[in-house]
Structures are given as structure tokens and as C-alpha cells.
Chains A and B, each alone.
Chain A
Amino acid sequence: DARVTQTPRDKVTEMGQEVTMRCQPILGHNTVFWYRQTMMQGLELLAYFRNRAPLDDSGMPKDRFSAEMPDATLATLKIQPSEPRDSAVYFCASGLVLGPESHNEQFFGPGTRLTVL
């Protein structure tokens, strides 16, 4: 049963510390998304990649957040320095997009619950 995996599942850190979240997309999927979910804002798109190239990171605070795909099996989201307002659940999702007519279904990982004190 193919699924997206994320590590760590929970992270508690202090303000100012660096946080790195990792995601392994479903094998064969060519698109990876990072979302953040809070009670107030709901699910927000932070960034996404297709074939490892960043397509849109306009939802991400550029000064402290960075997203990369070192290879096809690993996506990372880094926050440096972290702040209490970054506390949220961060989801990674992956999908297979083959062209303009692709159905664009996305499958989510279990998320990383981040608490910044």
C-alpha cells in the first residue's frame, strides 16, 4: 500500500531553533506539495515541486522557510529560525501529473505536528 511518509511526526522546539521536516513521496509521483494547517487559516499551500523543480513557493515566508528536493525520493522543508507563530501541522502530499488533462489527485502524508515554544 503506497503512501507518503513524513518525519518527524511530532516536533517541539524553542524559538530560534532550526527545524527540518522530511517527506518521502509515493514512488513514481512527480509532484510534491507542502501544506500548513492551523485552526485559524485551514490548509495553506506553502510550496510545490514538479520533477524536483520548484514551481510555486509564493505561500512560503521566504526569509525563514526553505523547501528543497535533493532527489526524487526526498523533499525537505526547513524553518530557520523558528517562531511560535510557525506552530502548526505541516503536511506533505504527492501526486502524478502527466499533462494538462491530468486529474491532479493528491495524497497526503501523516503530517508533522510542530510546536515552537
Chain B
Amino acid sequence: RKEVEQDPGPFNVPEGATVAFNCTYSNSASQSFFWYRQDCRKEPKLLMSVYSSGNEDGRFTAQLNRASQYISLLIRDSKLSDSATYLCAAYTGRRALTFGSGTRLQVQP
């Protein structure tokens, strides 16, 4: 089993829709979690950090459920520009990030 797992998608949603992704992690000792956004042929860019129960930034909300060992990313009022791959990452015992394989989002007009 991978340390960090994501549904690869793609998630195809219309503009204005609300979409949510989940990410599960296997190491219960993980303390910090992150969502990165990666556009095609670009580097991952930090979108949100999740240290306690959750974090909100505009249309984006990240939540952490330690009991079930997953984090989620909710995007409200989707824009065309939100189309990208969203990578989940967790700090494992090696003190470095372990990434999921990413979830692809395509927002359609």
C-alpha cells in the first residue's frame, strides 16, 4: 500500500460547481499535510498547508481527519483556471514529504 493515496480522476466538473478530493495516508505519525497544485509541464506549487483540523483560503478548504487518516480539499465555485493536477503530501517519519500521485481536475465551461 502506498503511503499517500489519491484518486487519479479525472474529475470533470462544470464551472461554478463544488468539487472535493480526498487523500488517505498510512503513517499515523504524520503531522503536517499539504495540497499542491501542478499545471501541465510546470512545478508543483503550494496551495494549502494543513496542520490541525483544517484550513480555509477563499474558495479552497482543506480538512484533516486524523481518526480516519485522510485529508480533503474542497473547491467552491470552480473556475476554468482551477483545472490542474492536485497533489496531496504528508510528512512521514523521514522528515521529508511523501506525495500522492495526484488528482486531475478539469473544469469545463
Contacts and interface: CB of A to CB of B under 8 A. Distances in A.
Interface string A85-117: 000000100000100000111111111000000
Nearest to B92: A45
A103 B49 contact: yes
A70 interface: no
A105 B95 contact: no
A4 to B, nearest CB: 8
Given A42-B102, A103-B49, A104-B91, A110 B96 contact: no
B96 A45 contact: yes
A30 B7 CA distance: 33
Nearest to A113: B41
A111 B94 CA distance: 23
Contacts of A27: none
A43 B91 contact: no
A56 B94 CA distance: 8
Nearest to A45: B96
Contacts of B46: 105-107
Interface SS, A side: strand
Contacts, number: 42
Interface residues of B, number: 20
A45 B3 CA distance: 13
Contact of B98 (A45, A55, A91, A103): A45
Contacts of A104: 32, 91, 95, 97
Nearest to B6: A42
B10 to A, nearest CB: 14
B59 interface: no
The CB with the most chain A CB atoms within 10 A, among B44, B87, B95, B96, is that of B96
Interface of B: 32, 34, 42-46, 49, 51, 87, 91, 94-102
Per CB-CB distance, the 5 closest pairs between chain A and chain B, nearest first, are A108-B43, A43-B99, A42-B101, A104-B32, A108-B44
